[in-house]
């Protein structure tokens, strides 16, 4: 990007419309005008959706041909951005169109919460349990939200960025902080 | 999920020290006389809320999920099962047929499985967290240990994701070497599968045969990479070293040796009435269920869905080689068997084409950002020495961005999701592993089947628990 002032010609040029959406995504883009469709540098299709409409969006995506559930995970953008701290990342695949779709859902809070998509894709069950276990993100409506990788009595959520690697609690300090 | 825990677990909040000699004897007496064990003994294997609930406490959702009837309700005797007396049997975590530390809780009605709950995590070592502490160059050493039967595929997937973020192109020889190694690795992984599949069904000699042929491949891997497993050979920017002198003869030996073994396996298994009886119609999964649960690879192709990422979303120049995608029809254990057996033949077909068309040139990119200078330059130039040192200590910075890279592993779609913030270490590494999805679908394949069939089903999805738990 250049930091020059735009010339008058550029100002009068029609401002770029929403990024062109592939035909198989057109019904989704129409039904969810607030969802942001974008392409990553390597050309992968990404959609940013608010958590309130995630289940509807995923349902519509399945109806639009994304029949296969591939992946569900989360990213902790701790101190990396000003907005919500976590992204829940849902990966879908359309065999019919030979396309992938990655849905990013920002969530925030001490006990971040996102709706469960197990009603649409039952395969998300274990994946949501894993994210609940390792990130502490609560999936409302999940049929069996328990830890899956770690024991039930484990303290904390290791994949959060504020969980250090290889820390030991220090005794005889006035705080219970781990170093 | 309910928060109700049984009284046994509540009673054991304080950890009990290791049992003394006297306690051990008491335990033995209890076991011998059939007395109920003390709560702390029960607690030593308890997984709390992660365990299967007894049927009178389970909700309808639990029963449908664990019974494998959420997507397609093909349950035969639901009404009888609800009223009949059932037992919950623990299989694992230490069980020879679970291919690792997998624990299955089976609700049995007589000898018929009504519900299944996989309990996993016994091998969880936090490899995704570890991945955040290693540079992109060190990354393959970490991921290669996840699916230890297909190390090259893990390395390749990580390297492709990194290269996509870096935006670098590879020389043709590097790509051909990658295809050669991953396809040979597919054969070695499938050989381990056919060995264990046979052994689990009682054909113990199959184990010996499969491992025998696999040795040909492991010897070649060792010659090329220095190690039989966990190679760290495919790295961002190419491969670690060129193929050894005389690799052509080794590959020719493999191309001759493996088909002989395969014909032995066909003689032993393919038309064996016991094998047919134990695999045909057993562990059926439909393509609809595969989609809903994210089942890919041979189990998906066994249902007749023509989907192979090497054909549909090719990588590493694999599209220039000719091969077929074998398909099944019924989605049962036998079809998974035939699909994998044919896949080995097709992989060898690719290998023979690579052997004929191996291009000359560099085995890694000449991009100085990721490739250290040649060894000879280090003796001559201080700058080259510093350059080399910097790459291996600090690593190279990868532009900010995120990328999901998927390849066709031996067990299905292997995907690595990398998030970079412009540093030398990934901000987040997530591995979408095929075994994790497959383990989750066990209830579908096992529901309403005999307990003996569960062993055949576990072997047929070819799970690697290092891949499941990571």
Q: What is the mean pLDDT of residues A126-135?
A: 93
Instruction: DSSP letter for A52, please.
Output: G
Based on the number of CB atoms within 10 Å of its own CB, is A73 exposed (0-12), middle (13-18) or buried (19 or more)? buried
The pLDDT assigned to B48 comes to: 76
C-beta atoms surrounding B34 within 10 Å: 6
**What residue in B sits closest to A151 (Cα-Cα)?**
B47
Q: What is the pLDDT along chain B (470 residues), one digit of tens a residue?
A: 444 444 444 444 455 666 677 777 777 777 677 666 666 666 666 777 788 877 777 777 777 777 777 777 766 655 555 566 788 888 877 775 667 788 888 888 888 888 888 998 888 988 999 999 999 999 999 999 998 899 999 999 999 999 999 989 899 999 999 999 999 999 999 999 999 998 888 888 888 999 999 999 999 999 999 999 899 999 998 899 899 999 999 999 999 999 999 998 998 888 889 889 999 889 899 999 999 999 999 999 999 999 999 999 999 989 999 999 999 998 899 999 999 999 999 999 999 999 999 999 889 888 888 888 888 888 889 999 999 999 889 889 999 999 999 999 999 999 999 999 999 999 999 999 999 999 999 988 888 888 888 889 999 988 898 889 88
pLDDT tens digit sequence for A21-58: 777 888 788 888 787 888 887 778 899 999 888 999 99
Chain A residues at the B interface, defined by Cβ less than 8 Å, are: 40-42, 44, 67-71, 73, 75-76, 80, 89, 91, 95, 98, 100, 102, 121-123, 125-127, 134, 142-153, 158-159, 165
Kindly report the nearest CA distance between residue B260 and chain A, in angstroms: 36
Alpha-helical (H) ranges within chain A are 8-12, 26-31, 54-63, 124-135
The pLDDT assigned to B325 comes to: 93
Contact between B421 and A100 using a beta-carbon 8 Å cutoff: no
**HEC letters along B75-138:** CCCHHHHHHCCCEEEEECCCCHHHCCCCEEEEEEECCEEEEEEEECCCCCCCHHHHHHHCCCCC
Task: Pick from B115, B291, B413, B425 the residue to mutate for testing the A interface (most A CBs within 10 Å).
Answer: B291
> Chain B window 277-336: which residues touch A at a Cβ cutoff of 8 Å?
290-296, 305, 307, 312-313
**Do B334 and B280 touch, CB atoms closer than 8 A?**
yes
Specify the DSSP element, H or E, that contains B165: helix B151-166
Here the tokens at position B168 are 């670098």
Q: How many helices (H) and strands (E) does chain A have?
A: 4, 7
Here the tokens at position B376 are 């000879």
Based on the number of CB atoms within 10 Å of its own CB, is B299 exposed (0-12), middle (13-18) or buried (19 or more)? buried
Query: Alpha carbon of B431 to those of B5, B254, B395: distances in Å?
Result: 33, 31, 21
Residue B397 contacts by C-beta under 8 Å, 6 or more apart in sequence?
A: B422, B423, B424
Query: Alpha carbon of A156 to those of A132, A163, B369: distances in Å?
Result: 11, 8, 38
> What CATH homologous superfamily does B127-437+454-461 map to?
Cytochrome-c3 Hydrogenase, chain B (1.10.645.10)
Here the tokens at position B69 are 């009837």
- CB contacts of A153 in chain B (<8 Å) are 48
The pLDDT assigned to A131 comes to: 94
Contact between B436 and A126 using a beta-carbon 8 Å cutoff: yes
- CB contacts of B133 in chain A (<8 Å) are 165
| Residue B448 CA neighbour count, 13 Å, CB half | 17
- CB contacts of B70 in chain A (<8 Å) are 122
Token match 């309808």: residue? B60
- CB contacts of A81 in chain B (<8 Å) are none
Kindly report the nearest CA distance between residue A119 and chain B, in angstroms: 9
The pLDDT assigned to B91 comes to: 84
Contact between A123 and B120 using a beta-carbon 8 Å cutoff: no
Contact between B430 and A67 using a beta-carbon 8 Å cutoff: no
Contact between B417 and A73 using a beta-carbon 8 Å cutoff: yes
- Res. A76 pLDDT band, cuts 50 70 90: very high
**B326/B199 Cα distance (integer angstroms):** 24
**What residue in B sits closest to A80 (Cα-Cα)?**
B421
The ipTM of this complex is 0.85
Instruction: DSSP letter for A82, please.
Output: S
- In this complex, which of A70, A127, A152 lies closest to B47 when CB atoms are compared? A152
**Do B70 and A121 touch, CB atoms closer than 8 A?**
no
**B318/B147 Cα distance (integer angstroms):** 22
Contact between A71 and B440 using a beta-carbon 8 Å cutoff: no
Contact between B124 and A149 using a beta-carbon 8 Å cutoff: yes
**What residue in A sits closest to B65 (Cα-Cα)?**
A122
Give domain limits for chain B. Answer: 127-437+454-461
The pair phi, psi for residue B54, each rounded to 5°, is -60, 155
The pLDDT assigned to B339 comes to: 94
User: Does B120 contact A at CB distance below 8 Å?
Assistant: yes
**Do A145 and A135 touch, CB atoms closer than 8 A?**
no
Domains annotated for chain A, with CATH where assigned, are 21-179 (3.30.460.80)
The pLDDT assigned to B4 comes to: 45
Kindly report the nearest CA distance between residue A151 and chain B, in angstroms: 7
User: Does B128 contact A at CB distance below 8 Å?
Assistant: yes
Kindly report the nearest CA distance between residue B177 and chain A, in angstroms: 24
**A117/A131 Cα distance (integer angstroms):** 13
Contact between A123 and B292 using a beta-carbon 8 Å cutoff: yes
Alpha carbon B43 to its chain's center: 30
- In this complex, which of B124, B164, B417 lies closest to A42 when CB atoms are compared? B164
Based on the number of CB atoms within 10 Å of its own CB, is A7 exposed (0-12), middle (13-18) or buried (19 or more)? exposed
- CB contacts of B305 in chain A (<8 Å) are 95
Contact between A122 and B415 using a beta-carbon 8 Å cutoff: no
Here the tokens at position B61 are 């959702």
Residue A156 contacts by C-beta under 8 Å, 6 or more apart in sequence?
A: A136, A163
| DSSP notation for A64-109 | TT--EEEEEEEEE-TTT-SS-SEEEEEEEEETTTTEEEEEEEEE-S
The pLDDT assigned to A143 comes to: 87
The pair phi, psi for residue A150, each rounded to 5°, is -100, 160
- CB contacts of B50 in chain A (<8 Å) are 146-148, 152
Specify the DSSP element, H or E, that contains B44: none
Alpha carbon B178 to its chain's center: 19
Task: Pick from B116, B168, B402, B467 the residue to mutate for testing the A interface (most A CBs within 10 Å).
Answer: B402
- In this complex, which of B50, B417, B428 lies closest to A147 when CB atoms are compared? B50
Contact between B1 and A144 using a beta-carbon 8 Å cutoff: yes
Contact between A80 and B427 using a beta-carbon 8 Å cutoff: yes
User: Does B421 contact A at CB distance below 8 Å?
Assistant: yes
- In this complex, which of B120, B133, B294 lies closest to A69 when CB atoms are compared? B294
**What residue in B sits closest to A158 (Cα-Cα)?**
B129
- CB contacts of B436 in chain A (<8 Å) are 126-127
């Amino acid at each position: 990007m250049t930091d020059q002032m735009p010339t008058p010609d550029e100002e009068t040029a029609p401002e770029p419309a929403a990024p062109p959406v592939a035909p198989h995504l057109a019904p989704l883009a129409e039904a969810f005008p607030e969802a942001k469709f974008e392409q990553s540098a390597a050309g992968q299709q990404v959609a940013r959706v608010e958590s309130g409409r995630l289940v509807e969006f995923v349902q519509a995506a399945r109806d639009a041909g994304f029949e296969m559930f591939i992946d569900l995970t989360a990213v902790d953008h701790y101190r990396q951005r000003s907005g919500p701290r976590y992204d829940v990342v849902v990966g879908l695949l359309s065999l019919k169109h030979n396309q992938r779709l990655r849905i990013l859902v920002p969530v925030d809070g001490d006990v971040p919460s996102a709706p469960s998509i197990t009603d649409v894709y039952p395969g998300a069950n274990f994946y949501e349990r894993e994210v609940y276990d390792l990130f502490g993100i609560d999936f409302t409506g999940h049929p069996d939200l328990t830890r899956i990788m770690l024991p039930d009595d484990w303290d904390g959520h290791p994949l959060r960025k504020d969980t250090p690697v290889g820390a030991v609690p220090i005794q005889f300090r006035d705080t219970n902080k781990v170093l | 999920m309910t928060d109700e825990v049984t009284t046994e677990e509540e009673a054991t909040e304080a950890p009990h020290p290791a049992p003394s000699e006297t306690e051990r004897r008491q335990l033995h007496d209890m076991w011998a006389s059939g007395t109920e064990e003390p709560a702390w003994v029960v607690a030593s294997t308890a997984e709390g809320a992660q365990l299967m609930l007894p049927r009178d406490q389970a909700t309808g959702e639990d029963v449908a999920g664990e019974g494998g009837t959420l997507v397609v309700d093909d349950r035969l005797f639901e009404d009888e099962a609800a009223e009949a007396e059932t037992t919950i049997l623990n299989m694992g975590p230490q069980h020879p047929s679970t291919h690792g530390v997998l624990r299955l809780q089976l609700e049995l009605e007589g000898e018929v499985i009504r519900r299944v709950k996989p309990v996993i995590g016994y091998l969880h070592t936090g490899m995704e967290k570890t991945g955040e502490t290693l540079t992109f160059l060190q990354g393959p050493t970490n991921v290669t240990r996840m699916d230890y039967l297909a190390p090259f595929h893990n390395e390749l997937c990580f390297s492709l994701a990194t290269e996509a973020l870096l935006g670098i192109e590879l020389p043709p020889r590097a790509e051909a070497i990658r295809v050669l190694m991953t396809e040979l690795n597919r054969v070695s992984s499938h050989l381990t599968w056919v060995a264990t599949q046979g052994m689990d069904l009682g054909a113990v000699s199959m184990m010996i045969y499969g491992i025998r042929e696999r040795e040909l491949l492991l010897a070649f891997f060792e010659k090329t990479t220095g190690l039989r497993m966990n190679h760290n050979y495919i790295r961002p920017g190419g491969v670690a070293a060129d193929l050894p002198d005389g690799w052509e003869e080794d590959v020719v030996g493999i191309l001759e040796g493996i088909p002989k073994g395969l014909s032995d396996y066909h003689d032993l298994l393919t038309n064996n009435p016991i094998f047919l009886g134990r695999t045909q119609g057993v562990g059926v999964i439909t393509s609809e269920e595969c989609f809903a649960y994210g089942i890919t690879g041979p189990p998906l192709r066994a249902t007749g869905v023509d989907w192979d990422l090497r054909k549909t979303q090719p990588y590493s120049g694999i599209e220039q080689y000719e091969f077929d995608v074998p398909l099944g029809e019924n989605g049962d254990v036998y079809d998974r068997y035939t699909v994998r057996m044919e896949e080995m033949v097709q992989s060898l077909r690719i290998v023979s084409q690579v052997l004929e068309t191996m291009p000359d040139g560099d085995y890694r990119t000449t991009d100085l950002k990721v490739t250290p200078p040649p060894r000879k330059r280090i003796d001559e130039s201080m700058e080259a020495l510093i350059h080399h040192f910097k790459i291996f200590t600090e690593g190279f910075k990868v532009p900010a961005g995120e990328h999901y890279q998927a390849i066709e592993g031996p067990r299905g779609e292997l995907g690595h999701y990398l998030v970079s913030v412009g540093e030398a270490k990934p901000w987040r590494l997530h591995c979408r592993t095929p075994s994790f999805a497959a383990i989750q679908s066990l209830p579908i394949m096992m529901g309403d089947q005999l307990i003996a069939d569960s062993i055949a089903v576990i072997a047929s999805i070819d799970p690697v628990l290092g891949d499941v738990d990571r």
